[in-house]
Structure 1
Amino acid sequence: MNKLTRFQLMKRLTAFFLLTRPLNVLIAMVSIFIGAFITGTISPLINVLLASLSGGFIAAGANAINDYFDVETDRINKPYRPIAARIITMREGGLFSMVLFSIGVILGLLVNWLAFVVAVFSSMLLYWYSARLKRTVLWGNLSVSLITSLAFIYGGIAVNRLGLALIPAVFSFFYHLGREIIKDAEDIAGDIADRIVTLPIEFGKRKALLLATGIYIFLIGLTIVPYALNIFGIYYLIIVVAIVNAVVVFALFSMWRDMTPNNLSRLSVILKLNMFAGLAAIYCGKF
């Protein structure tokens, strides 16, 4: 294999890796593990690891199929994405996503029957989201938020303690709902070009961002409840107030000062990274 061929191979392998959006995959896997941990056990550990891997593969498949259906929009909004940049063909991207979904579902079956059901449901909903739901007003946002919250529930299922995973699942639902609306406000130009009817397009950017603001204000109040009820300890409260909620407040102020796509894109990334602080808060809340 000559140097040029090796370079081309590495470029394509890197493109397939980036197609999965590895940061999103990592967040999904960590969320599932945390979902198990906060129930008070990670036993049987093999089930937790299998569930985390299953969720990671499903998330990777979802990200790949999303790029498949969003290729025309991405050529306007995100021309560097692997399929939009024509490094990977649409056919390759579609087949790759099906392989990833299949591995995720099979791994779910190895956990238990309920995990298998959730894995199948999640895979089907994520495909439907990319193919249809994301082009509808609010339903796409609700679908993504539901799927992300299911990551915590998936962790609870892995250790047969579903009920105790509901708190982070609820937080995750509202956090992602607000962020998804902000992302839609960022992508207005490309969505119009692709004939996608999102909340900001249907009702205007300001009204959409007002809804996102209301969701986040409600969530900030909601995050105090587990500490007030002695479910989580002082370390949870410190991280939530000093980092998680502080970052959300900063993002809201910045969003209203500057509603340009560049700033909304920056804030979307900041909010994504802030999820790790939220996971750390929940993890530390048990101590």
Structure 2
Amino acid sequence: MKFTKLTSSVLAGATLLSILAPTATFAATSTAGSQGATDDNGGTPLPMTDKTVAGISFGDNSDNGNTGYLRLQMVPHTLDFGNHKLLNNSKRDFTADGKNTTLASNDLAASYDNTDANKTRILNTTDPALSKVENKAWATVVDKQITRTGTGYAATTTPKSGSWELSVKSDDALTAVDSAGNKTSETITGAKLSFDNTAYGRTQKVFELTKDANDASWATDSTAAGVTADDTDISAAGIVKSFGTVLKDNGTDVTVATAADGEGQGANVFGWAPQDIKLTMPQGAQVNNAIYKANLTWTLSSTAA
């Protein structure tokens, strides 16, 4: 194409027009309008906000709702003996880390629900006073009885630690459950649950352990005027090193620990390595492709009259 002076002038003019032409703007909702009488955002002013929570947790940090100067704060809520190919009647012991003792080839999954994560929770702690129960399944009794000052209590009730017992019993036999978790009629009679090598630790860092709002003021309450400390561990004789129960309906309470008068101020933690918690299946038991469950009840009771 041959440009003439006229063509060049026209092109130059077109270019000039495009430069000088006003740029279009596309206004949405005016911030001022959304906040003013014109109500530009239909009743909700801008800016508006919402929230996100980022969370992660470790171990069992659930709250059972128990309260009181003396309370059962934690027990092992799940003991997970894993998923296995079959029941070998010569290798009938299973541990709470999901393993068939001395028969690793029989282990399929670490959890009874066929997943890889074993559900037996262990204690995560950096408290030196609890080093013996770290990385163990655990039960905790919180004893704050020294802070029960004043009058009006029963004659045998005192502001002293101890005089309590922790026990556990079987509620029912090992029973197959359906896909909704409901019990079926299939039960295994004579299975036994045992706990060996009970470890013990006691700490005054109660709130740091429990993260329970009930314990937030323990550090100041336990040193308040009129409070007399009796900072003593439960004696070795009061802790049962090994105990067990047959899994059956309405079992009998089995003692785990007993605190004498003046023992146990603070948080008392009893722990068991998962491999020291054992499920022994009865000789000749017949099993199907199913999940079998049994329930335990842990009880904290007073030994004072």
TM-score bin (small chain):
under 0.3
Please, what TM-score do these two structures have when normalized by structure 2? 0.25
Q: Which has the higher contact order (CA 8 A, sep 6+)?
A: 2
Larger helix fraction of residues? 1
Higher strand share: 2
